[in-house]
Chain A
Amino acid sequence: MEKYVCNICGYVYDPAVGDPDNGVEPGTKFADVPDDWTCPVCGASKDDFSPEV
């Protein structure tokens, strides 16, 4: 599954890890992450993420 990078702070969302601290279970594809989820480092919205190159 594709990783996504926060354009603001560089945090990498890894679907294998998810973001369990914020209610996103491991194994969740980025597309399936809730729309109101925000970057756990800088608070940027989901729109500010790009696929990792």
Chain B
Amino acid sequence: MKPVELKKDIWWVGCVDWNRRNFHGYSLSPLGTTYNNYLIVDEKVTLVDTVDKSFWSRLKCNLAQVLGDRKIDYFVINHLEPDHAGCLAEAVAYYKPEKIYTSPMGEKAMQAHFHYKDWPVEVVPTGTEVSIGRHTLNFVETRMLHWPDSMATYVPEAKLMFTNDAFGQNIASSERFADEYDRHVLEQSMRHYYANIVLPYSPVVLKTLAAIEDMGIEIDTVCPDHGLIFRGDDVAWVIEKYKEYAEQKPKNKAVIVYDSMWHSTEHMAEAVAAGLADKGVSVKIMSVKADHHSTIMTEIFDAAAVVVGSPTHNNGILPLMADMLTYMKGLRPMNKLGAAIGSFGWSGECVKILNGWLEDMKMEVVEPNLKVKHVPTHDDYQQCYDLGVSLAERIKEKIG
């Protein structure tokens, strides 16, 4: 895609990665992604972030299309993760910038990534202002949103904020603005991105949004480093969405995530789901064999209850379920009810182990935990159904 002028002299010079399906090795990106970066053409030509290293030659081409032979004076590095700063070493060698601005933690991360000796790095803590001519750069540290070095850059004259990973979505598209794109798909992608990347830092999101509100600045364009750019009314919309995500208010929804060897746990899951559904709770049954952990996490994210199921396997639980639980715990979902089910052959540790995970995640465990030897009987199914019914009642209490 060719560079796009977002506002006078402020350009999107990013790259669209139509083929990316695996995002950073832990999440899926079924629609591809973009590596957005931006160029401000002013007295001091300023490049905000770079792109994934594999797109270095395309970035050079994009920049040449806007700049011709003009040089780049300043780099702003809002985050050091390699999908943004991946070709920084090449870019520094090629453009020989006068200054590289980054956050205090960014300087440490930059050194640890690139082991440079003589780069012109200047640390810009929150509140630092740099004039580049007709535009000013205001830097705002956004630590742990989602890495320690994360930073945003606000340009008051353009009412525009470069937010790096915050507000991003993995979408490859020919469109650059959110208002040009299918709203439902956009929202689903934002939710997937938040649930799998930003979720553990939700308290930081709320604090950062409040801090930005306190700054009393006008923002009419939000430029994230992945996906579509928000302008006009969409700015308030996306900020509101982030608040909603960060508050993690549970919905009238339950997710049953399970693994099964010979279908007993699977059938138990279906009986629990029937109890939940009969009491008016929207329920999703997700097998860890059928769905990737990031897809499951996107569903768990706004659910009020999570039922985890696994048979006992070698005195433990099945490996894909262990993968799911490790992943889920790391993302620190909040405000959820939990319950555990599973079948067993000779020893039956599964439910105890699953319960341990639920407690580690500070979920309110709803009893009884159900375990069944070999194949469930009619009475076992009845108990599973009843667990679904009592979970539904607790969900109703929880969401009010």
Question: Which residue numbers of A lie inside 8 Å of B, CB to CB?
Answer: 8-10, 21, 41-42
Contacts and interface: CB of A to CB of B under 8 A. Distances in A.
Contacts of A21: 362
B143 A9 contact: yes
A19 B144 CA distance: 19
Contacts of A10: 143-144
Contacts of B201: 41
A41 B362 contact: no
B204 interface: yes
A8 B204 contact: no
Nearest to B204: A41
B148 interface: yes
B120 interface: no
B203 interface: yes
B32 to A, nearest CB: 30
Nearest to A40: B203
* A contact face: mostly helix, strand, loop, or mixed: loop
A9 B104 CA distance: 11
Interface string B140-157: 000110001000000000
Contacts of B144: 9-10, 41-42
9 contacts: A8-B105, A8-B148, A9-B143, A9-B144, A9-B148, A9-B204, A10-B144, A41-B144, A41-B203
A42 B148 CA distance: 8
Report the contact-size class of chain B (Cβ under 8 Å from the partner): under 10
Interface in B334-366: 362
Contacts of B204: 9, 41
Given A10-B143, A10-B144, 13 more contacts: A8-B105, A8-B148, A9-B143, A9-B144, A9-B148, A9-B204, A21-B362, A41-B144, A41-B201, A41-B203, A41-B204, A42-B144, A42-B148
Nearest to A22: B362
Contacts of B105: 8
Interface in B99-139: 105
Nearest to B207: A41
A42 B200 CA distance: 8
A41 B148 CA distance: 11
A25 to B, nearest CB: 17
Contacts of A41: 144, 201, 203-204
A6 to B, nearest CB: 9
Contacts of B203: 41
A8 B108 CA distance: 11
A21 B332 CA distance: 13
Contacts of A9: 143-144, 148, 204
Contacts of A42: 144, 148
B333 to A, nearest CB: 14
Interface string B263-294: 00000000000000000000000000000000
A10 B144 CA distance: 9
A42 B150 CA distance: 13
Interface in B146-204: 148, 201, 203-204
A48 B367 CA distance: 39
A8 B144 CA distance: 9
B91 to A, nearest CB: 27
Which 8 residue pairs are nearest across A and B when measured between Cβ atoms?
A9-B144, A8-B148, A42-B144, A9-B143, A10-B143, A41-B144, A9-B148, A41-B204
Nearest to B201: A41
A30 B362 CA distance: 23
A51 to B, nearest CB: 18
A9 B105 CA distance: 9
A13 B32 CA distance: 40
Nearest to A8: B148
A41 B55 CA distance: 33
A32 B143 CA distance: 27
A42 B105 CA distance: 14
Nearest to A41: B144
A41 B201 CA distance: 7
Contacts of A8: 105, 148
Nearest to B104: A10
A39 B379 CA distance: 46
